[in-house]
Chain A
Amino acid sequence: MIHKKREMRSAFPEKSQKQKMNSCNLLVGGDYAYLTFKRKDMKFLKHPSGVFQKRWLIKSLLIMKLTFIIVLISCIQVSAKSYSQKVTVNLKSVNLKKALSTIEKHSDFRFLYSERKIDNNDKVNINVTDADISQVMDELLAGTGLSYKELGNNLIVLIQKNEVIQDVIVKGKITDKATGKPLAGASIQIKGSKAGTTTDANGNYSINVPAKATLIVSSVDYKKTEIAVNGQTVINISLEVSTEGLNEVVVVGYGTVKKENALGAVSSIDSKEIENIPNSNLSNVLAGRLSGTYVESNTGTPGISSSIRIRAQTSWNSQPPIYVIDGVVRDETSFDALNPNEVANITVLKDAASTAIYGSRAAGGVMLITTKSGQAGKPVISFSTVVTQSQPEKLPEYLSVPASIALDRASNGDSSVTAEDVAYLKQYDPNGMAWYDAAYQNPSTRTYSLSASGGGKMITYFMSGSYYYEHGFLPNVWYEKYNIRGKISAKLSKNLTVDLNLAESNGNRNTFNFSYQNNVDLSGLWGKLFYDVSGFANPFVDGHPVNPGWLGNTIAFMTEGGYWKDKSQLNDALVNIIYKIPSVPGLSLKVSYSGNLDGDHIKSFAKQQVLYNYKQISLNDGIDPNDFLSTSLSGDPGTPYLGNSQANTNSYQLNGQINYDRHFGKSHIDAVAVYEQYESNYNYFSYYDYGFPLVPIDQYFATSSNPDYRSVSGNERQDGRLSYVGRVDYRYADKYLITIAAREDGSIAFAPNKRWGFFPSVSAGWIISNENFFKGSKASNIIDFLKLRGSFGSTGNDDIAAWQWEDHYDIGGGYYVGGSQQPGLEYAGTPNPNITWERTDGYNAGFDLDFLKNFSFTTNFWFNHTYDILGARILALPTSFGGSLPAVNYGIVNGKGLEIDLRYKNKIGQFSYSIMGNIGLAYTTVEKEDVAANAPAFANPNGKPLGYLSGYVETGIYRTQADLDKLPAGFTISGQAPVLGMLAYKDISGPGGKPDGTIDSYDQAKIANYGQAQAPVSYGLNLNFEYKGVTLEALFAGLAGFDAFYNDAFARNVGVYLRQSAWWKDYYTATNVNSKMPKPFTWWDSRADYLLNSTFNMYNGSFVRLKNLSIGYNLPARWDKKVGVSSVNIFASGTNLLLISKFKLYDPELYSQQSYPTMSTFSIGGRITL
């Protein structure tokens, strides 16, 4: 047995050893491949059948070996045989290295030498049959100036003739760093040679090595560790669990593939990278970590997720990525609900060939999420906690109070702010921060996470629970999340495995309730703390909220106005049954059923607040705090109310899957066929009750019993999807790879005869570094691995309103007449029975390159052609038609781009470090989109990027009368004759197609290619350092290449505000004609032409953030032992510590100036493993 094993190993070139081992195991079925791969060094011993005895396999391997030898002979005329210690070799005029490697390939002997000591130009000849190794070496080295020494273990060291080599026997034990368990089958290799040994069942090893050698210790699932012998004779090594074990296989749709054989454009991260970063939603921490993935965080509101775009959006319809969690197609809500501690891996499929296997809805890319599973062994219990203090990273910038008052007066007249107002502010609110400071609460988060995993031969399990709590910087803004997951895998018999995966997630998002706020980014209220509190009154007197008039007191709305609470609960139950059919090798069946219950409950309660009136002593509501007059109720909410709404989606996904995975000679086939069905039922119900006869309490017993004061609504929706999927991977000689896949999907969004869409794909790859010609070439000294890839795939999008294919009327509207409300009925619009999928044809080409040992480089070029894009051609249609046309498949958008991942890893002594950078570029061109018949050029989207920005082209400010005098007679801007201080714009065109002496809508132009949602550049830079258990990580991430308008109404319009936006620094006045900004005008003034969207208020939104900076320390193992734990890790980290952007007025990533800001966080935490 052992002998055969050795022969096997020597039969294959070193580079492809891993592949070969895996290939052997893949023969017994896809699922098992994963398992055995991890135990590669013991693969035959651990084979499920116990011994490696399949006759046909041996045969095929022999054939392979023979083939190899034939190839070799044709090159260098060699025949070599090795039986035990005897060597047969016949080489003519080859260089020494070649000769040595030939012998290595055909014997158990391993050579160790220093490259620079060998003169590779020496040609050697050798022809021996069944010779001892000493004879072979003597013949080989004759006349080379080299000598050799046998070290045992069939290891031979080449040395200079006079050199004395001291060799030592090194013994030791290899253990798991976390658990202290001995590792059986770990490999100990001498660096620079192919010689080595493996540990026994107790983790012990013994090896004879040169005293100056370096040992490489490796075991599947563990980090490869190097250690210099330096004369030591006992070297015990504890290995750390590797995060790369998983990375070596790549998760793809309906299966996995070895990374080396992967053909798609795929990025993935391991949860280790993100599990210590406190955040309410998984999507928020992905920025900069995955190339080609654009993460946009428009707000820092606790519990609100980021939007993720993969490559470019190539349709004006929404194309979100689909999220596939443990094989079940879900949505971003489910993804965000996961706790990082229960996720093993997140993989992004970017190219159409990879995503096409999810056909119908994959045009926006696919995110594949794998949750953690249990590993057989002693129970591993892990607990971690993180506590965080936060602060807003960047608040909008405002002018000082005196500067704001000056601006008030400049635009609204000298009488807008009186001397009494100024005196009042000086006394009570000199910095204009009294309201903000009074509202501010210390924001913080807490995270706890506990997990246990382990198992035996039959059962493995993983269980985890976690809790997250975040409090915002404003009162009543908080979010909490609980997650529970239990995963059990039972091997019921040799061939039958059943997995059960149960998960629950509870998210509670709470915010204050104010009629005019956006509950997502909380804009609409808190921004008023800076600029407008309906006057200058201070917020509280003796703890009583002051009534500043009209709607009410901004802070009282937050603290006393009720709440809005969104409770989201997701329950997922997944069962997998895997059956390997014993009579047909390589064939297995899998049936999965996933039941999913998504509930969303919103409770909102709004009540009026008691406010205190004080005597007004200045024009803009300065008050005398000693002169209390009365109390009154706030103006908002108009009517207090209590409301509950409940939305439930009940869905399931059922899959039947057949896998076939086999080797035939050098060929390898991995085929999968899947049947998938999905059904869901959405049910929404809401009940609002207005008015409280006695007191406002957030319970229905307190609400009005008058049925007129109730509002009830609800609706239901059904969905269904049916899919057939097939894929065949074919690999030849580990050099040539091809994958063909197809999916057929049926969607109820389309008429029965237009329902089915077919989405094929094909990919091919060539591992050049596995070619013999490559191995002998000079390039092989630099390049360790090189694979070329190319693919084509077709994907779809059905994310449009349903039922557009069917003629129907909708109940809705109505009219009150004759003393009662009468129902209404509306024609739903002209149907289009031909409506069908939007399709994207995607092409991808790329290569993966490992070079100079430490570098790895991956790049992908892609081109997407999206056609049949659905859109209602409303612009091409005169309004007099009076209807909307149905959506038709007509649009065309092309996208193209490039992604680059570059990684450098190195270790100097105990100091190891890595630098990983990625960048994604994504550009679009609209080929065909709706355009009005007589549209001016700027309004024609065709030939322009999707979502380009248009506006006026600013040419300066009318600073002097001479500037105005130069204008043609009758010149107007939006109908207004220009005056001094107004912005000047370029007269580009007019209704006649020529400049016409007026600035009107015809004078707009395309002024930027991309807005933020289409940002064409995304990048990240990740730095990792480790020294003696201390780790330091930094992640920079940014978006670039896009522009945005600064158009906050309350910032650009100058009212009588406490503070004015810093946008208004340096404005035009009669005495400051060389200002940067135009002359400010009051609200409604038609001369305020700076309100137009133009180049003047457009800015480059590019930014880069230090997303994460963390420092961690792993307590030394000897300390761990003393306290009886496996490992202890403590860390401190900060997120969003630095923001670099040209735009200074507020965080450019935010949706608007008043969006809840991104938080800078400072955390400390620890993780303890038992």
Chain B
Amino acid sequence: MKSKIIVSIAFCIALFLAGCNKVLDKQDLAAINPSDVWSNATLANAYLNNIYAALMPGNPMSSDDGTDEELALQRGTSAWLLGTITPDNVPDGFGVYSTIRQINIILANIDNATFADSSKNYLKGQALFWRAWAYYGLVKDYGGVPLILTVESPDNIDSLYIPRSSTTACVAQIDTDLNKAIALLPSSWSGANYGLIDKAAAMAFLGRVSLFFASPLFNPNDDQTKWQYAYNVCLAAKNFCDAQGKGLYPDYAEIWNNPPNEEDIMVREFHYPESTYFQGGMLPTSFSKDQAGVDWPSLNLINAFPRNDGSAWDTTTMNYDTLFKDRDDRFYATIYYNGDPDQYFAGLKEANTYYWTYYDNITSVEGVNGLVGLHNPVIDEINKYTPAASSFTIKAVDSTLTKGTVYNAAIWWPEIRYAEVLMNYGEAANEVGNTEEALQVLYAIRKRAGILPGPDGNYGITATDQADIREAYENERFVEFAFEGKRWDDLRRWKKLDMLNVMGQRLGLAIELKPGQQDVQPLSDINQVWNRFTSFSYGADLQNITFSDNEYIYPINTAELQKNPKLEQNKEWGGNFDPMQ
């Protein structure tokens, strides 16, 4: 018996000792060792990829700002336009600091990395570009912010309370980073690298930055040296892009449908199914899902498109029943109107119809959605949802979408296209007195838009002096870059948002079947049936727009002020920080 005991005890002990060694010897099966990352260019590039994913913008649809480009769903005028922004409800943009830290990690490690210098330079150049990009996003909204250029150590929390640097210092840092990046980056990328940031993109972006900070918002005293600098870098960018074979793509509508093309300067590629985005709200509601009423063109925008002879659409004399007639190419590439024969996405083709937005009769324009009335029954299922808008935007809408597949949109997004490089240069040229250069740019833009040169060869541009050309630029950018996310910042930098207050409400267009008229057929030709409708415009906001001048520079969000005792609020918002310094 005793031997049995000894055997069993020995067995247990052996079992336990054998187990001990392994039981706690486990590995994280999902991790990569840090030392591997900075000795292997492939891994380092993979690290950079996530910075691209975080910062490279895509289609800016549904941006909350709501400018005069578009009508709001259910007349929901934004807090910005109602002047009810407060430090509590202002969107908090400081989240980008997490990417800034990721970038700083690259910059801290790259010099000691053990792979080839060329790879190191390219990585470093891209990292510097993205840091500039991230800080630009902050500084243009808030003015100066804490400048974090190293990987801060968390050991002493008090040392992490960094005060805001002046706007000037921040802009200088952005400029420095971009200039370093320009020096390090290759002239262009190709093949599997096409779409990475190259020298042209960095120079074009420096142009955008310089133009922004030379504009009235941050240059209230019209300091000409800022304009001159902007002109210099914008011209350099234009020249460099030209040398790289970049230019205006001849067919405006195909810029988004036919990538890659020479218009791309900084572009984000999308592809189904690996890299898609949600485009629900942009489609007519009955094809949409999870969102509606995104980027409904306002009548104000529709009006702004010139006619194809270069003349302006004259709201006092022109008839909205035929607003689709004789407009420039950009109109047809941007606006979907009542019965537009362009079946611009697969869902419409499947339904074998055009989209009809008219009403049988309109009883009110004050409904939850604006217009109230029974909708036409052309295709009952499709027309069940009555949009308050009479039109949709078709710019950069994925033509493969059908009802329900709105998460699969995969249209390339050119964040900076050559037209911007050109117009940045032209606008700066005008401000430094080179009006002729400025006009040539406008002509080129309009020419590409299919506008006829006209007898004077001026493509309908009648401006000749600096002030008129400035106004022409404001109008041209409005239509050229409609729904490209530029309008809000343009109005801010020009300090022109008060014109929305003058406007009162953004206008919608109501289209109604004339009494006694027959409903159209799904595929009726609008040119034959336009006279069955009457149209009128109406104020489409819930309340009149009352933008407050304080909102030109955003308040810092309350949460950030609470986390960092050294962070000062902007002076427009009750603090001591002067963003104009």
Contact = CB atoms under 8 A, between A and B. Distances in A.
Interface stretch (A9-17, A155-163, A258-266, A823-831): A823-831
Interface in A970-993: 972, 974-976, 991
B9 interface: yes
B563 A412 contact: no
Contacts of B76: 1083-1085
Mostly, the B contact residues are mixed
Contact of A1001 (B9, B88, B152): B88
B116 interface: no
A934 B561 contact: yes
A810 B15 CA distance: 36
Given A413-B364, A416-B367, A816-B274, A615 B160 contact: no
A974 B86 contact: yes
Contacts of A717: 29
A878 B560 contact: yes
A608 B404 contact: yes
Interface in B132-156: 145-146, 148, 152, 154
A879 B563 contact: yes
Contact of B24 (A618, A630, A722): A722
B88 A716 contact: no
Given A415-B367, A828-B31, A974-B86, A722 B154 contact: no
Nearest to B292: A550
Residue picked from A412, A813, A878, most chain B C-beta under 10 Å? A878
B24 A877 contact: no
A994 to B, nearest CB: 13
B359 to A, nearest CB: 11
B322 interface: no
Contacts of A935: 562
A991 B562 CA distance: 9
A632 B381 contact: yes
A998 B88 CA distance: 12
A877 B153 CA distance: 12
B245 interface: no
Nearest to A881: B160
Interface string B355-385: 0000000011011100011110101110011
A881 B101 contact: yes
Contacts of A998: 86
Contact of B154 (A616, A826, A885): A885
A236 interface: no
A1032 interface: no
Contacts of B20: 677, 722
Interface stretch (B91-99, B210-218, B464-472): B91-99
Interface stretch (B192-200, B388-396, B431-439): B192-200
B28 A1000 contact: no
Nearest to B9: A589
Contact of A821 (B73, B98, B275): B275
A203 interface: no
Contacts of A830: 154
A748 interface: yes
B404 A975 contact: no
A234 interface: no
Interface string B1-42: 110010011001001100110111111111111100100000
Contacts of A636: 289, 404
B84 interface: yes
B79 interface: yes
A635 interface: yes
B192 A810 contact: no
B1 A808 contact: no
Nearest to B54: A813
Contacts of A824: 46-47, 49-50, 53
Contact of A878 (B161, B191, B380, B384): B161
Contacts of B559: 932
Interface residues of B, number: 118
Contacts of B89: 974-975
A720 B25 contact: yes
Interface stretch (B264-272, B303-311, B335-343, B420-428): B264-272
B385 A878 contact: no
A690 B19 CA distance: 45
A813 B72 CA distance: 33
Contacts of B162: 878, 880
A879 B31 contact: no
Contact of B49 (A823, A875, A1086): A823
Contacts of A410: none
A802 B28 contact: yes
A632 B404 CA distance: 12
Contact of A549 (B29, B377, B385): B385
Nearest to A413: B366
A881 B270 contact: no
B404 A638 contact: yes
Interface residues of A, number: 116
B526 interface: no
B61 interface: no
B254 to A, nearest CB: 19
Interface string A876-895: 11111111011000000000
Interface in A653-673: 654, 656
Given A719-B26, A933-B562, A933-B565, A709 B192 contact: no
B565 A1086 contact: no
Interface stretch (A136-144, A285-293, A577-585): A577-585
A1117 interface: no
A811 interface: yes
A880 B564 contact: yes
Contacts of B567: 878
A579 B12 CA distance: 13
B380 A613 contact: yes
A817 B385 contact: no
Interface in B43-80: 43, 45-47, 49-50, 52-53, 56, 72-76, 79
B580 interface: no
Nearest to B73: A1084
Interface stretch (B405-413, B451-459, B478-486, B491-499): B405-413
Given A718-B29, A883-B98, A1085-B542, A654 B53 contact: no
A708 B273 contact: yes
Nearest to B97: A882
A683 B45 CA distance: 29
Interface string A850-883: 0000000000000000000000010111111111
Interface in B177-198: 189, 191-196
Nearest to A1003: B88
B574 interface: yes
A877 B52 contact: no
Interface in A1015-1047: none
B356 to A, nearest CB: 14
B32 A808 contact: yes
Contacts of A808: 28, 31-34
Nearest to B364: A415
A933 B88 contact: no
B79 A1086 contact: yes
Interface string A566-600: 00000000000001011100000101000000000
Contacts of A826: 47, 50, 102
Interface in B555-572: 558-565, 567, 569
Which 9 pairs show the lowest CB-CB distances between chains A and B? Answer: A882-B101, A975-B84, A816-B275, A1084-B76, A638-B404, A878-B564, A808-B31, A818-B192, A882-B97
Given A817-B194, A878-B160, A880-B97, 14 more contacts: A413-B366, A722-B23, A809-B37, A827-B105, A876-B157, A877-B157, A879-B560, A881-B160, A882-B98, A933-B565, A975-B83, A1083-B76, A1083-B368, A1084-B76
23 contacts: A613-B384, A621-B384, A636-B289, A638-B405, A690-B273, A708-B274, A809-B31, A811-B46, A814-B49, A817-B269, A818-B193, A818-B196, A827-B47, A879-B92, A879-B94, A883-B154, A934-B561, A974-B89, A975-B79, A975-B85, A1000-B87, A1002-B558, A1084-B73
